[in-house]
Structure 1
Amino acid sequence: MTDNYNNNIQQIDIDKAWNNLHARLQEDNLIPIAEKERSIFAMPVFRWAVAAMLALCLTTVVIRYFVPDRHKTPLLSMRNNDADNTLVKTLEDGSTVYLAGSSSLFYPSRFAKDSREVVMQGNALFDIAKNPEKPFRIETKKIIVEVLGTAFNVKSDAKGSFELAVLRGKVKVTQKSNGEFAYVVAGEQATIVDNHWQKTKYTDNNLLESFTKHMKFKDEPLEKIVQVINRYSQRKVALQGEAIKTHKLNVQFYNNDVEGMTKVISLALHLKREVTQDSIFISQP
């Protein structure tokens, strides 16, 4: 994908683009009449300005080529530059992405009718909502990951190295270069050795904890934050009242202790917290 957009950029005729821009400025009467007899591109400052504008346009093209857009749907981007915390995002289908440091995710605000597609680079844990009619597809630099509903960890860097570990369910991984694919099930991990898939047993029992120990949320509705907390906590959190579910919150948790997390939420949003033996209730005061 990267090679494609590099080739496209190299084929752009810069002089032709300048001439087109000049014609548009003349058409809109943005060039003084006295100046029209001179070549506007002979002016160094203007030439650099046009070059900067073209560079901006090319940057946009680069992003759109890097991020698949098969359904012509604008994609949102999320990047975690914090090496010590996991950025958590729940997508519109209910799937949750735990993004580690120096990692990026591109995703649509709403998925297409027949598929769910995202692009990622870096290290992320995916907990995919099950939907047999809409497979979930993750595209990395060299690999395509396809699932129906499962939990797994993907590592893929800019150089193309790849590693996948499945915690729950079954995942299909396919190499873009040669089409070779493999199915990876819970308890297995897959890497590429000499352009071929190699599967081994996965033994890291602390993988889930490493992603959930220090979580942060950015502009997330309270309802989705609580859903993430309930997924890994024995003591469940219940929101009482529809109004508080949509409250958005920027918050960072330094451990995955449910009591500590609900205290932070209650203080930040000025809500009431009631603790029982089995549950924690959050409501309007």
Structure 2
Amino acid sequence: MEVDHGLLKKYWLGQCSPEERQRVEAWIASGTPPDRDQALRTVQNEATMKSVLWQRITQQSQLDDAPAPNIKSPFYKQTLIKVAASIIFLMGIGSYLWTHQDLFTPQKDSVPYKTVTVAKGKQMQVILSDGSKVYLHAGSTLQYPVHFSKEQRNVILQGEGFFDIQQNPAQPFQVEAGEIQIRVLGTQFNVNSRKPGKEVVTVETGKVQVSAIGATDTLTLSAGMQGQHIAGSLQEKKVNSQHYSGWKNGQLRFDHIPLAEVALELERWYDTDVKITDAALANTKVRAHFKNATLKEVVHDIAFALHIQYKIKNKEVLFIK
């Protein structure tokens, strides 16, 4: 009986048809011999998987806790039995996942992983064992194996990074970033996963495949295309890719975004604290582009464009309406 990644994901998300659910439950009940370990492996992180599973258990528990109707019919008893059985089964699966949690962490048991975190105000280039390069933006973290396995190349990104991947069709490269997964053979692309559930992938050269937790479709993006994960679905559009990867060359770009979001980027970029005195001002849209600019130059130009005042003292910036 074959059960692949797609079917397992549908099961955890409660999207299986009755027939598919029966297949998965029969498969799990039959055990997990070594040749099935690979089928279970995924870059989906353990915390997310457990959260989804717990939500399903909670939903079933809420059904069980609902006030009982006055009519005690055989149908009602059968419903209670089915709900109880579902809860017991899900708890059993939770126990199984806890026992086999290593199967849901890419390569970490077989290959040592290294973690690098970039401080605010800094950027970093990481060269992987296959020669691929990852440029990390300020405040970002990358987890990667010291040496890749022969079958796959998996890394985990939190924050923002630009990937320049060496081509090797026999050894696919995969990136887990928030709730999305990117699969590539050889390409250059930017990933921004700073906002959970709103991840963005922008391709500069080559092609990538993007999938996401809760999304039924998969995007194939080529150069100049951008994929966005929004409200559980994947959307694509044409963009100027260099607008999204220019940060690694000292370019700071704001394309009609709220000043509150600009403040967060300035904090990461210059390792400073930015405060806004007025809620309405925080929602004011900013459109600006800078290259290798100082904090004072950026703040001055933004304030001038918005007709507002500002103060800079030590490592703190204050925008005043």
Q: Is the contact made by 1:67 and 1:106 (CA closer than 8 Å) also made in structure 2? A: no
CA distance in 2 between partners of 1:213 and 1:65 (Å): 40
CA distance in 2 between partners of 1:112 and 1:81 (Å): 29
Number of equivalences? 163
| Residue 56 (structure 2) aligns with | none
Q: How far off is 1:209 after superposition?
A: 3.7
Q: How far off is 1:177 after superposition?
A: 2.5
Q: How far off is 1:176 after superposition?
A: 2.6
Where do residues 201-216 of structure 1 align in structure 2 (5 Å cutoff)? Answer: 201-213=238-250
Q: How far off is 1:78 after superposition?
A: 0.7
User: What one-letter code is carried by the residue in structure 1 that aligns with 2:205?
Assistant: R
Q: Is the contact made by 1:182 and 1:197 (CA closer than 8 Å) also made in structure 2? A: yes
Normalised to the residue count of structure 1, the TM-score between the two structures is 0.51
CA distance in 2 between partners of 1:81 and 1:142 (Å): 23
Which of 105, 110, 116 aligns to 1:78? It is: 116
| Residue 153 (structure 2) aligns with | 116
Normalised to the residue count of structure 2, the TM-score between the two structures is 0.45
* Structure 2 CA distance for partners of 1:71 and 1:190, relative to 1, 3 Å: same
Q: How far off is 1:64 after superposition?
A: 7.3
Where do residues 132-211 of structure 1 align in structure 2 (5 Å cutoff)? Answer: 132-157=169-194, 159-211=196-248
- After superposition, the C-alpha distances for 1:86-123 in whole angstroms (9 at most, x for unaligned) are 21111010100000011111000000011100111110
| Residue 68 (structure 1) aligns with | 106
Q: How far off is 1:125 after superposition?
A: 0.3
Q: Is the contact made by 1:67 and 1:119 (CA closer than 8 Å) also made in structure 2? A: no
Where do residues 1-12 of structure 1 align in structure 2 (5 Å cutoff)? Answer: 1-4=46-49
* Structure 2 CA distance for partners of 1:74 and 1:199, relative to 1, 3 Å: same
Unmatched runs of 5 consecutive residues or more in structure 1: 9-62, 215-253, 256-285
CA distance in 2 between partners of 1:124 and 1:75 (Å): 18
Which of the two has greater helix per residue?
2
SS of the residue aligned with 1:191?
Answer: strand
Which of the two has greater strand per residue?
1
CA distance in 1 between partners of 2:178 and 2:196 (Å): 8
* Structure 2 CA distance for partners of 1:7 and 1:203, relative to 1, 3 Å: closer
CA distance in 2 between partners of 1:196 and 1:6 (Å): 19
Unmatched runs of 5 consecutive residues or more in structure 2: 1-45, 54-100, 252-290, 293-321
- After superposition, the C-alpha distances for 1:248-280 in whole angstroms (9 at most, x for unaligned) are xxxxxx97xxxxxxxxxxxxxxxxxxxxxxxxx
Q: Considering only aligned residues, what root-mean-square deviation do their CA atoms show, in Å? A: 3.1
- After superposition, the C-alpha distances for 1:195-253 in whole angstroms (9 at most, x for unaligned) are 22211111253444421349xxxxxxxxxxxxxxxxxxxxxxxxxxxxxxxxxxxxxxx
SS of the residue aligned with 2:242?
Answer: coil
What percentage of aligned pairs have identical amino acids? Answer: 30
Identify which range, 196-205 or 125-134, moves more after superposition: 196-205
Q: Is the contact made by 2:180 and 2:211 (CA closer than 8 Å) also made in structure 1? A: yes
* Structure 2 CA distance for partners of 1:187 and 1:164, relative to 1, 3 Å: same
